Each structure stands twice: as C-alpha cells, then as structure tokens.
Amino acid sequence: MMARKLMKGNYAAVCGAALAGCEAYYGYPITPASEIAEAAAAIFPKLGRTFLQAECETASINMVYGAAGCGKRVMTASSGPGISLKQEGLSYCAGSALPCVVVDVMRGGPGLGNIGPEQGDYNQVVKGGGHGNYRVIVLAPNSCQEMCDLTMLAFELADRYRNPVFVLTDGVIGQMMEAVELPEPVTIFPDKSGWAVRGTADTHHLINSIYLAHDELEWWNNELRKKYEEIEKNEVRFEEYMMDDAEYALIGYGCVSRVLRSAVEEGRSKGAKLGLLRPVTLFPFPSKRISELPDRGVKGILTVELSTGQMVHDVNLALCGKARSDFHYRVGGNLPSAAEILDRVSELYGV
C-alpha cells in the first residue's frame, strides 16, 4: 500500500484510474459526478496524461472511442442524463470490442429529476441502454475504498475482455468522504499491438462496428455472445454478511447495502436471523448464488433499491420460481433507514 488519505468517493475513482494507468479522461461535468472531472483535471496533466473537457456528453464518449481504438486506457464519467446521451457511443464501443471505463454516479430521475442519490440507472446500464445486442461489465462499489479498487479492476477487466466496463455508483458513495488506502500503481499492461490502430505504416488495423452483410453481422453477434458467456462464467462477484445461518436475506447494492448491513446487525441483536447478500457485479449477476437461497433454509427475501423496481426483477429471475423476493424502495433522493428496513421485515415475516 502507498498512502492512506481522506477523500470523496468521486476523487477515489480518479485515483484508482490514475493508479491503473489510465492515459486519458474525456468528460463533461454533471452533479453529483462533477468532482470526477475536477479531480482528473487536477491529477492527469501532472502525470503527463490527457484531460479534456468535451463540449458535450456525446462528444466525450466518441473521444473515448477514438482513444480506446488507439489502444489507450481511457475513461469518462457522468450521471443519469449524461449517461443517456452516451448510449449510442457505448453501443459503438461494445460493437467494436473497445475497452474503456465509464463511471456513473446515479442521481434522481427520470428527466432532469434532481441531484439526490438514486439507483434508477440500473436498467439502462446493466441491460444495455443503447441499440443492438451488447452487454457491459458492471461493478457496484459501496465505499470510497471500493471506488478506488473497483475502478482499478474495471481497467483490468476492460482490457481482458475488450469491452466497456461501468463503475455504477450513487450520489451517496460519490459524495461521501472516507479514508482510502491507495494501492501500488499498475506497472504491467497488456499488449494491444495486435489490434490497436497506431497510425503506423507497418500496421493495417481497422476498428469498426459495421457489418453490412447479414451473415457477417450475425457471426459478429455470436462472437460477442460467446464473450459475454465467458464473462458470466468467470467474473461473478458478491459479498455475504451473516448468511451462514440466515433465515431472512436482505439484498441490495451500493449505499443501500450499507444500510442493510446495519439492519442485519440490529436485527440480530434482537434475535432475528437476518443476513445480507450484496451483488458486487451487476453484470454478470450472482444469479446462481441467489437461486441457492431457498435451498439454504432462507424463508424470506427482501430486495431494497433506490428505484421503483429494477434489480428486483433480476433477483426473481434468479430464484426461478422456487421463491419470490419481496421489495422495498425509496426514490427522489430519499434513503431508507435501518429502522425502516426492520419495520418492513417485521411486517412481512413477523420477526
């Protein structure tokens, strides 16, 4: 480890990007993600790397496309309305098999909504909000430390699979301050000479996502599907807390998971056998582990989100009809309290 510093989650993400060897940041400021651009503007030029505030969100993601096509480790960040504007470019990046990292610090919506924390971007990010058959890897930090660590991991996964990777967080995690242990910087990087466009006479690589012949496009979609299946096989990540003997499971990600952890601890102190399952990857989703919950003696499952119901549908798909998750939510920038969660558990399960 290098240094231990107090910093915002947004700032920690930029530190993680810098330590991962990110060579360029292109973006446009938007609350509650603006500190990411601010930190990148302060840090990247000092390291001899590129920071550029684009004229808009659409321009920034296309700059990311260009830099990624040249083999650079590259990043952008935004919040809900800006992520919506980036979706076409993200589809192009996925369709061209270009590695890049996008941080989404979610805020209230739809429309302009407000700048309070929410988790309403789940569907557009996890399911692929752009056109076509594509997926992005999605990491969901729940602390400032994970904003750093998972951003570093995002660059590794992006290069490993030649695919866009999202760090999907919320306004609470982005804006809160915690102590962060900064890891050692990455010093070994993958060789991209086999595909990157370098502009040299001895390489003739072409980066594109257009396949005019029907059979060619079908072949490429099948190649992408094979990659996504490999990701689902190898990259599932989740955290469990007090699940060994749990009779009731709470499921949530991001800042919600921290509230649920407190609810588990308080419920346990009162004799309720609660446990927490936190997805760390939203794609690939920990479907297999969730499907095992009824077989492990879990009698009730409660999914909690800062949305009116998005991840809960994936939880129920994972359960395959063996059980069904109940649901609790807050939106508009409001957060549930541990007491509120315990009241809901008592209402549903009588514990």
Q: What is the mean pLDDT of residues 239-267?
A: 98
Phi, psi of 117 (to 5 degrees): -70, 140
Which range has the worst mean pLDDT, 4-8, 200-204, 236-240, 328-332? 200-204
Q: For the chain, what is the radius of gyration of the CA atoms?
A: 20
Domains present along the chain, CATH in parentheses: 4-234 (3.40.50.970), 239-349 (3.40.50.920)
Q: What is the mean pLDDT of residues 71-77?
A: 98
Question: Is residue 171 within 8 Å of 117, Cβ to Cβ?
Answer: yes
- As a whole number of angstroms, the distance between CA 13 and CA 34 comes to 12
Using alpha carbons, select from 265, 289, 269 the residue that is nearest to residue 278. Answer: 289
Using alpha carbons, select from 228, 249, 261, 236 the residue that is nearest to residue 292. Answer: 249
Using alpha carbons, select from 254, 227, 229, 250 the residue that is nearest to residue 240. Answer: 250
Q: Is the dihedral of CA 144, 102, 106, 262 positive or negative?
A: negative
Would you state the pLDDT for residue 198? 84
Structure confidence by residue, pLDDT tens digits, 126-147 = 999 999 999 999 999 999 999 9
Percent of the chain at pLDDT > 90 equals 96
pLDDT tier at 2, thresholds 50, 70, 90: low
- As a whole number of angstroms, the distance between CA 204 and CA 199 comes to 8
Question: Maximum Cα–Cα distance for the chain, whole Å?
Answer: 72
Average pLDDT, the chain: 97
Q: What is the mean pLDDT of residues 185-195?
A: 96
Structure confidence by residue, pLDDT tens digits, 196-242 = 998 777 777 899 999 999 999 999 999 999 999 999 999 999 999 99
Structure pTM? 0.97
Structure confidence by residue, pLDDT tens digits, 147-173 = 999 999 999 999 999 999 999 999 999
Q: Tell me, letter by letter, the H, E, C secondary structure of 80-138.
A: HHHHHHHHHHHHHHHHCCCCEEEEEEEECCCCCCCCCECCCCHHHHHCCCCCCCCCCEE
Q: On the CB side of 221, how many CA atoms lie within 13 Å of its CA? A: 14
